[in-house]
Structure 1
Amino acid sequence: MRILPNRLGLRARLTLTYAGLFLLAGGLLLAVTYGLFVNQLDSGGSMIVKATRLPGPGDDPDALQQLLDTTYVETQKGDVLTGPQARDWLLAQRQELQSAAAESLLIQGAIALVVVLIIACVLGWFISGRVLAPLHTVTATAHRISAAPAADMGLGERIELKGPDDEVKELADAFDAMVGRLDRSFAGQRRFVANASHELRTPLTVGRAMVELAMHRPDASSDLRTLGADLLALNARHEALISGLLDLAGAENGPIDRRPVDLADIVEHVADLTAPEAESAGVEVRTDVGETPTSGDAILLERLVANLVENGIRHNVAGGWVEARCRSVDEHAEVVVTNTGPEVPAYEVAELFQPFRRLDRDRIVVDRGVGLGLSIVEAIARAHHGSVTAQPREGGGLVVQVRVPG
């Protein structure tokens, strides 16, 4: 059974536990001391009573009564008591002394216990703080690494805790080892992306040049030209795939160059860039923009809006439309792209943000992208500490909303 609530910090729980144990031990000590004190008073009083009943030197049977009759007591008021009155007065004085001593012990002991409890709490708080200081170092390092602007930044930092080989140092060493492995993993990923970018783009560029050269030969037949056009389309898709993968990796792991930017300018620019593709597809692109200031990487934000608009054009119907709106809402910059198109089941919307996922589950579609558009949008939004949501539009198509801090 848990005695202390979970919302208390470890330091506070250690302090309260230490103080509670001290209070329990102090109370028990006070009770035992009180019992021994009372027992000692009782023993002392009995000895006094017995002493008053000792017979005289003559060993006379009536010596006790004679002693009581001849004994007198003079009180502080000047009264002289003899015989039974003296005995009763002595017994009353003994009882009063016993009660006063017991009361004094309880009051002073309780005050001493409270004072010592306060001192114990202060010492417990100080000692637990010293004990938990290495944990604060571990936590601060973890926060700095997690607050890095990119996933692979900050992994070069280590705790390197000095001190005895206890549980806390073991935890710090395990944390350093884990961060070291993550650092090596991200470094390998960066090298792989850089090498793959160079090794894959070069043969595609050479292949495109060779196909174009063969197609433009004077003696090229119509079949050769048709085959060349198909090969160029396939080559373009492969180039788009590689560019998309690099954009996705860059958005997830790359640093963000934050500068002031107005999303309204980006939306208008993207609408102009995609106008030829929209015209050839028979889709109307319209905008509804207002001043929408934010801070971020202008190139990545342009890629975000372009992916949304291009998806709306490519996954649409003839005579359809795509609308891009941007506004400042509740200290956030908001971009909403709505498009007509085929019906989208609500349970499949979440899968559209997974890499290489499409609504028709077709991986061999050349004219509809490579299946990375919404994945890149989500990665760019997360890199800007924003969010992206999508929902089916009534009548077909999608409504995608992106919000980033304004």
Structure 2
Amino acid sequence: MTRLLKFLGFPWTIRTRLSLLYAGAFFVAGVALIVAIYLYLGVVLDRQFSIRLVNDAAPGAEGQMGAPGVLPPRELMDEAGRISVLVRQARLNTLDTMLMVSLALVGFLTVLAGLIGWLVAGQALRPLRDITATARRVADRSLHERIALDGPKDEIRDLADTLDQMLERLDRSFDSQRRFVANASHELRTPLTITRTLIEVALLEAGADDKLRQLGTTLLAVNQRHEKLTDGLLTLASSEQRGDFHPVGLSDIAGHLVTELRPIADKAGVRLETALQPGMVEGDAFLIERLIQNLLENAIQYNLGENGWVRVSTAVSGKAVELTVENTGPVVPGYEVPGLFEPFRRLASTERLAGTGRAPITRGAGLGLSIVRSVAQTHGGAAEATPREDGGLVVQVRFPAAGSHLGNIEPQTRHPPSP
């Protein structure tokens, strides 16, 4: 029955199951009652007709009965046989009529019981719908809202109070984590900034001392790498905390970052191409900007040394807005693609970098695509990567469009076109 309802597209909800349970219980009880009445009525009819036959036949048969062992006349026996047949036929007709009427009535009342059960179940499950709606709003917006369910102290009220207590603990935990991220951001970035400043001053005062300048340059590169690692870790931690989202233009942010990174791409010998269609998403502008920046920097850095290109496009697809970053570069094995979204994971072969020694992009720590996936999931979207046959990657990020009220978006398989 369950499979049949699912096959027919019937909503197999708790309300549906309760309604069917009410109707089924009523049907079983009705059938049991009909069987009991049918059997009892058969016995009653047998008794009633037997008594009536005796009373009706006794006066006429009294003077015609012979002595014991003597059969009554044939006319009297024929009349009794006909009466017996008529009695049996009348009994069967009565029972059949009762059975047909009772079954039709039970069928009608079963449907009526299902409708009444649907209404009663809807009324009983209304608090659960309120709890679900509040939990969905809390998951989409913030943890400050509470269910605060009114009504009698029953099982549903206990569930709502338990969820409120859980939300309270989660709210305090996330607030503590946000404060930790803010404090860590200040405490970690400040000494690294001071160290970078000291190294830069030391390089200015080094003069013509080649060994000292080489040491300072190496320390400066290491410090920049630590700064980028710290910034990536803090961004990754911040991306997992959903704040207040606002409508932002995905194409506007992508176009702004392409303009900013074009000089770096030109210096690395990489051509930037765009195909941006307007699309609004609900989100944090800083996190979305960081997502696109990571994709563009990776696409520029891990590219061909000559005649490389990066193609950035945005498009609206149904109730989703898609961002696609496609680039040339080294051939990426398909089995290595899922690991690219894990923290601190890089391709084993990254020796061919665009404009090696020319592009002012510090080699990352393997957090770029991890941040991309985390930001996409925080916004209810999804990120996926597909290797190109000629080398390079196609990374696609899908966000719910602003006002679409979608849930999490699953990644879709995409076959990139050849350039």
The two structures have a TM-score, normalised by structure 2, of 0.73
Structure 2 CA distance for partners of 1:104 and 1:283, relative to 1, 3 Å:
same
Of 388-397 and 154-163, the range deviating more from structure 2: 154-163
Query: Partner residue of 1:401?
Result: 396
Query: Partner residue of 1:292?
Result: 277
Query: Partner residue of 1:137?
Result: 130
Query: Partner residue of 1:78?
Result: none
Tell me how far apart the structure 2 counterparts of residues 49 and 313 of structure 1 sit (CA, whole Å).
108
The answer (yes or no) to whether the contact 1:15–1:125 under 8 Å persists in 2 is yes
Query: Partner residue of 1:69?
Result: none
The answer (yes or no) to whether the contact 1:307–1:373 under 8 Å persists in 2 is yes
The answer (yes or no) to whether the contact 2:381–2:400 under 8 Å persists in 1 is yes
Structure 2 CA distance for partners of 1:83 and 1:315, relative to 1, 3 Å:
closer
Tell me how far apart the structure 2 counterparts of residues 38 and 197 of structure 1 sit (CA, whole Å).
89
Structure 2 CA distance for partners of 1:286 and 1:96, relative to 1, 3 Å:
closer
Identity percentage of aligned residues: 39
The answer (yes or no) to whether the contact 2:250–2:314 under 8 Å persists in 1 is no
Query: Partner residue of 1:72?
Result: none
Structure 2 CA distance for partners of 1:84 and 1:382, relative to 1, 3 Å:
closer
Which structure 2 residue ranges, 5 or more long, are not aligned? 66-74, 351-360, 402-419
Tell me, yes or no, if structure 1 residue 154 matches structure 2 residue 158: no
The answer (yes or no) to whether the contact 2:279–2:316 under 8 Å persists in 1 is no
Which structure 1 residue ranges, 5 or more long, are not aligned? 57-61, 67-81
Q: How many residues align?
A: 376
Tell me how far apart the structure 2 counterparts of residues 333 and 89 of structure 1 sit (CA, whole Å).
87
Query: Partner residue of 1:328?
Result: 315
Tell me, yes or no, if structure 1 residue 51 matches structure 2 residue 55: yes
Residue in structure 1 matching 2:367, options 365, 372, 386? 372
Root-mean-square deviation (CA), in Å?
3.9
| Shift of residue 89, structure 1, vs aligned partner | 8.6
Tell me how far apart the structure 2 counterparts of residues 372 and 122 of structure 1 sit (CA, whole Å).
56
| Shift of residue 298, structure 1, vs aligned partner | 4.8
Tell me how far apart the structure 2 counterparts of residues 255 and 140 of structure 1 sit (CA, whole Å).
19
| Shift of residue 262, structure 1, vs aligned partner | 6.1
Tell me, yes or no, if structure 1 residue 16 matches structure 2 residue 20: yes
SS of equivalent residue, structure 2 residue 64? helix
Structure with bigger gyration radius:
1
Of 9-18 and 214-223, the range deviating more from structure 2: 214-223
Structure 2 CA distance for partners of 1:50 and 1:357, relative to 1, 3 Å:
same
Tell me how far apart the structure 2 counterparts of residues 145 and 340 of structure 1 sit (CA, whole Å).
42
Tell me how far apart the structure 2 counterparts of residues 399 and 156 of structure 1 sit (CA, whole Å).
40
| Shift of residue 292, structure 1, vs aligned partner | 1.0
Tell me how far apart the structure 2 counterparts of residues 3 and 334 of structure 1 sit (CA, whole Å).
36
| Shift of residue 293, structure 1, vs aligned partner | 0.2
The answer (yes or no) to whether the contact 1:214–1:220 under 8 Å persists in 2 is no
Tell me how far apart the structure 1 counterparts of residues 164 and 216 of structure 2 sit (CA, whole Å).
55
The answer (yes or no) to whether the contact 1:160–1:176 under 8 Å persists in 2 is no
Structure 2 CA distance for partners of 1:117 and 1:250, relative to 1, 3 Å:
same
Query: Partner residue of 1:315?
Result: 302
The two structures have a TM-score, normalised by structure 1, of 0.75
Tell me how far apart the structure 2 counterparts of residues 218 and 42 of structure 1 sit (CA, whole Å).
123
Matches within 5 A, 1:209-248: 209-217=197-205, 221-248=209-236
Of 3-12 and 85-94, the range deviating more from structure 2: 85-94
Structure 2 CA distance for partners of 1:83 and 1:380, relative to 1, 3 Å:
closer
SS of equivalent residue, structure 1 residue 328? strand
Query: Partner residue of 1:305?
Result: 292
Structure 2 CA distance for partners of 1:107 and 1:306, relative to 1, 3 Å:
closer
Query: Partner residue of 1:73?
Result: none
Query: Partner residue of 2:387?
Result: 392
| Shift of residue 340, structure 1, vs aligned partner | 3.4
Tell me how far apart the structure 2 counterparts of residues 106 and 336 of structure 1 sit (CA, whole Å).
70
Tell me how far apart the structure 2 counterparts of residues 63 and 397 of structure 1 sit (CA, whole Å).
115
